[in-house]
């Protein structure tokens, strides 16, 4: 019997494809005849990659598990070896699984390498986490396998255009003589309002400026900014930008009659131009350093976090060049300058540590000769630029409460990095390593014990500071300060519970990979809780940059593999809360949010299917319905719109501000997902 002849599928012509209109597929087509243009056949899309067998992925998972358990004792070992290898290659459901014992490994007295050089599309970068350095290679291979799967009805991202990189323009772009900063200066009413917003919402959490000294420049700039020194202009525009950062879209529109994106673009440009014109890389002074710190703070969450970490290193070097790592008393400086240098130096330390942890690195150690004391418990009104006598710190609550707690916390965190194998111990504990194990890898057992002792000591020190300097009756700053220690200690303690002591051990947690899933959930739960606490006191802006889209994608990816169970229920509550706290997740004009929406909907589809098959009724959350409606609308637009400009809007930011900030958002794609984005557990404060 002869094989039926297969006819090649006739594609729409190039013009009809470009205009997104129906083509009759004649040669020439009627649309081209009407337009009196040549009818050019379109080029077929390249064939999809063939899906690799799931067995390959399971083998990679097995190899990943072997790496995980290399740090576990051999007593927990060989029970799971089968004739097929380290792990069975057939799928196993949660209901029928038993706790998996780690594979036995040859005893070793040497610590494994705790860093790895990761080569990505944007060049090499270092990951120095004990946990992720061990797993990165296998997880990279697993991700490549997953990416070859058929995306089914997810087709909106058929075109993978990359938005041009603008990080190089972050601070070092050339000056534009045609731009006058006076045109960017807000009108007097708005300038005073921005200044007050900064004092209320930003200054209490940073305290790197002396408000009574800066206020006269605010008044002078409102009258004529051209009469203000250029370094002061940079500081003022950085203050304006931070004030806008502290606002929601609705608040900004109501207070300033402009969108938040437009306001951010306007004042960011003013700050950048002023910093360039004062030549901050050569002309060092306190005001310029303050402007740089606030400017970088305003970029958090808007620019690529790795680029921001590099810039924070520049600020750290400028501060060291100016000697801020040495205490003013050692240098015989005035009491005012001594105290301001302390505030600025520790502000730089906190900022650099945050950027390091967001870049998958441990916080940098302080310079070996650093002796700058922590800021004293003083109000701005206690400090006078012309004072010659040292100021005695106050007894009781002051406006420095939040920063005193924060600075001490970061000092303790950095000191903990000096402990041998301290970071290794934390990573091992997150993998389920028990400090009582008899066969624990040499060098980590004592570090695990020391880590527990260090956490207890940290808790005690912070409690003492709270009793001395914090009073919830003193205002929102003190309420925020009181929330730091309980959230942090509870989170770290829960994340370090040995795997066998977890309530889910034997049911939903059977191996280190399951424990990592719970760690992801716990980290996001406490992040959401911290956001709600800060929202209650109008400081939620400081929590926004801590939300990382890559980590959220990792969580939704895990939920796709684990559709049901108590941990899955907790995970979906977190996903719902994050969509409430971050409405930008519904913005499908931004490519990374569109990708994340697809991840979320795919995970929900898996959950819906599993629950339906179990004979239960599925209650669809409102945010899922909203995501589905938005994606359907987007799909409809991409199919029927005839304007090429409209189609381009689906993969490009709409606002001018986001066009300038596309490196963080537009540079993201599924292949960028790394498990090394979790950083240090202390990063969620």
Q: b or e along 25-52 (b: 16 or more beta carbons within 10 Å of the residue's beta carbon)?
A: eeeebebbeeeeeebeeeeeeeeeeeee
Q: Which of 114-118, 264-268, 293-297, 493-497 has the lowest mean pLDDT?
A: 114-118
CA distances from 220 to 185, 229, 236, 289 (A): 12, 11, 11, 21
CA distances from 366 to 15, 63, 66, 416, 432 (A): 61, 38, 36, 12, 31
**pLDDT band at 122; cut points 50, 70, 90:** very low
What backbone phi and psi angles, to 5 degrees, belong to 82? -125, 175
Predicted confidence at residue 448, as pLDDT, reads 57
Helix, strand, or coil (residue 337): helix
Predicted confidence at residue 375, as pLDDT, reads 97
Predicted confidence at residue 109, as pLDDT, reads 39
Q: Which of 84-93, 254-263, 347-356 has the lowest mean pLDDT?
A: 84-93
Q: Which residue has the higher pLDDT, 540 or 140?
A: 540
Could you tell me the pTM of the whole model?
0.71
Q: For 487-519, write each residue's pLDDT tens digit.
A: 888 888 887 788 888 889 989 988 888 888 998
Q: Which residues have CB under 8 Å from 510's CB, separation 6+?
A: 97, 98, 99, 100
Residue 93 in this model has a pLDDT that exceeds 50: no
**pLDDT band at 400; cut points 50, 70, 90:** very high
Q: Which of 13-17, 495-499, 672-676 has the lowest mean pLDDT?
A: 672-676
Strand partners, 126: 117
Average pLDDT, the chain: 77
Residue range 148-159: mean pLDDT, rounded: 39
Residue 359 in this model has a pLDDT that exceeds 70: yes
Residue range 313-341: mean pLDDT, rounded: 94
d(CA 172, CA 151): 41
Q: Which residue has the higher pLDDT, 525 or 665?
A: 525
Residue 248 in this model has a pLDDT that exceeds 80: yes
Predicted confidence at residue 680, as pLDDT, reads 40
Predicted confidence at residue 662, as pLDDT, reads 34
Predicted confidence at residue 48, as pLDDT, reads 62
Q: Which of 299-308, 340-349, 582-591 has the lowest mean pLDDT?
A: 299-308
What backbone phi and psi angles, to 5 degrees, belong to 371? -135, 15
Residue 652 in this model has a pLDDT that exceeds 80: no
Q: Which of 38-42, 139-143, 159-163 has the lowest mean pLDDT?
A: 159-163
Rg (CA), the chain: 28
**pLDDT band at 234; cut points 50, 70, 90:** very high
Residue range 99-116: mean pLDDT, rounded: 43
Residue 539 in this model has a pLDDT that exceeds 50: yes
Predicted confidence at residue 386, as pLDDT, reads 94
Q: For 540-587, write each residue's pLDDT tens digit.
A: 999 998 898 888 999 999 999 999 999 999 999 999 999 999 999 999
Percent of the chain with pLDDT over 70: 67
Residue 72 in this model has a pLDDT that exceeds 90: no
Residue range 367-384: mean pLDDT, rounded: 94
Q: Which residue has the higher pLDDT, 669 or 243?
A: 243
d(CA 305, CA 549): 12
Most confident residue range from 61-75, 113-127, 302-316, 474-488: 474-488
d(CA 670, CA 651): 15
Predicted confidence at residue 88, as pLDDT, reads 36
Strand partners, 125: 118
Inter-helix orientation angle 445-469/422-430, to 10°: 100
Residue 437 in this model has a pLDDT that exceeds 80: no
Residue range 442-454: mean pLDDT, rounded: 60
Residue range 436-453: mean pLDDT, rounded: 54
Q: Which of 177-181, 470-474, 540-544, 593-597 has the lowest mean pLDDT?
A: 177-181
Residue 417 in this model has a pLDDT that exceeds 70: yes
d(CA 546, CA 329): 36
Residue range 18-28: mean pLDDT, rounded: 84
Q: b or e along 342-362 (b: 16 or more beta carbons within 10 Å of the residue's beta carbon)?
A: bbbbbbbbbbbbbbbbbbbbb
Most confident residue range from 35-49, 76-90, 215-229: 215-229
Predicted confidence at residue 455, as pLDDT, reads 85
Residue 235 in this model has a pLDDT that exceeds 50: yes
Residue 131 in this model has a pLDDT that exceeds 90: no
Handedness of CA 190, 193, 195, 201 (dihedral sign): negative
**pLDDT band at 174; cut points 50, 70, 90:** low
Residue range 431-455: mean pLDDT, rounded: 56
What is the secondary structure of 441-474 as a DSSP string? Answer: PTTTHHHHHHHHHHHHHHHHHHHHHHHHH--GGG
Residue range 649-659: mean pLDDT, rounded: 35
């Amino acid at each position: 019997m002869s094989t039926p002849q297969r006819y090649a599928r006739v594609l729409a012509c190039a013009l009809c494809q470009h205009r997104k209109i129906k083509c009759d597929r004649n040669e020439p087509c009627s649309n081209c005849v009407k337009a009196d243009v040549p009818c050019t056949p379109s080029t077929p899309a390249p064939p999809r990659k063939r899906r690799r067998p799931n067995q390959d992925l399971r083998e990679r998972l097995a190899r990943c598990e072997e790496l995980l358990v290399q740090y576990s004792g051999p007593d927990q070992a060989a029970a799971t070896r089968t004739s097929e290898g380290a792990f069975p290659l057939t799928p196993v459901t949660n209901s029928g699984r038993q706790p998996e014992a780690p594979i036995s490994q040859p005893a070793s007295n040497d610590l494994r390498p705790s860093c790895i050089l990761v080569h990505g599309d944007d060049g090499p970068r270092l990951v120095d986490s004990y946990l992720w350095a061990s797993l990165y290679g296998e997880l990279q291979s697993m991700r490549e396998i997953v990416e070859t799967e058929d995306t089914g009805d997810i087709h909106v991202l058929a075109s993978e255009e990359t938005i041009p990189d603008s990080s190089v323009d972050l601070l070092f772009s050339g000056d534009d003589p045609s731009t006058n900063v006076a045109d960017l200066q807000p009108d007097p009413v708005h300038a005073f309002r921005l200044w007050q917003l900064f004092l209320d919402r930003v200054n209490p959490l940073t305290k790197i400026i002396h408000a009574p000294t800066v206020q006269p420049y605010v008044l002078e700039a409102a009258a004529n900014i051209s009469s203000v020194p250029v370094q002061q202009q940079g500081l003022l525009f950085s203050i304006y930008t931070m004030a806008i950062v502290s606002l929601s879209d609705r608040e900004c529109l109501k207070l300033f009659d402009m969108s938040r994106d437009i306001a951010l673009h306007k004042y960011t440009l003013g700050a950048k131009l002023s910093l360039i014109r004062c030549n901050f890389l050569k002309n060092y002074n306190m005001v310029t350093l303050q402007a740089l710190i606030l400017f970088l703070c305003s970029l958090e969450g808007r620019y690529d976090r790795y680029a921001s970490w590099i810039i924070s290193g520049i600020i750290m070097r400028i501060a060291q060049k100016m000697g801020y790592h040495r205490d003013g008393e050692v240098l015989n400086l005035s009491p005012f300058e001594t105290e301001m240098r302390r505030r600025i130096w520790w502000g730089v330390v906190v900022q650099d540590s945050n950027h390091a942890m967001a870049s998958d690195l441990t916080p940098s150690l302080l310079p070996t000769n650093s002796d700058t004391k922590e800021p004293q418990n003083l109000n701005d009104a206690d400090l006078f630029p012309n004072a010659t006598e040292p100021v005695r710190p106050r007894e009781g609550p002051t406006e420095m409460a939040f920063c005193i707690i924060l600075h001490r916390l970061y000092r303790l965190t950095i000191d903990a990095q000096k402990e041998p194998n301290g970071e290794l111990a934390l990573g091992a504990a997150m993998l389920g390593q028990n400090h009582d194990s008899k066969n624990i890898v040499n060098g980590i057992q004592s570090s695990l014990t020391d880590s527990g002792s260090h956490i207890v000591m940290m808790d005690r020190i912070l409690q003492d500071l709270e009793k001395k300097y914090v009073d919830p009756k003193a205002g929102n700053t003190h309420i925020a300060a009181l929330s730091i220690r309980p959230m942090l200690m509870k989170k770290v303690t829960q994340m370090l519970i040995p795997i066998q002591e977890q309530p889910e051990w034997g049911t939903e947690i059977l191996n280190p990979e399951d424990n990592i899933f719970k760690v992801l959930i716990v980290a996001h739960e406490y992040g959401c809780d911290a956001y709600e606490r800060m929202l209650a006191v109008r400081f939620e802006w400081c929590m926004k940059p801590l939300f990382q889209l890559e980590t959220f994608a990792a969580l939704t990816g895990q939920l796709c593999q684990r559709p049901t169970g108590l941990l899955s229920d907790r995970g979906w509550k977190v996903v719902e809360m994050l969509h409430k706290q971050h409405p930008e997740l519904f913005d499908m004009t931004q490519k990374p949010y569109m990708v994340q929406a697809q991840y979320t909907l795919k995970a929900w589809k898996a959950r819906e299917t599993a629950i339906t098959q179990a004979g239960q009724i599925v209650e669809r959350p409102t945010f899922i319905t909203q995501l589905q409606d938005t994606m359907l609308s987007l799909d409809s637009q991409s199919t029927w719109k005839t304007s090429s400009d409209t189609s381009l809007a689906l993969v490009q930011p709409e606002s001018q501000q986001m066009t300038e900030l596309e490196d963080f958002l537009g540079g993201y794609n599924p292949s960028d997902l790394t498990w090394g984005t979790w950083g240090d557990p202390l990063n969620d404060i």
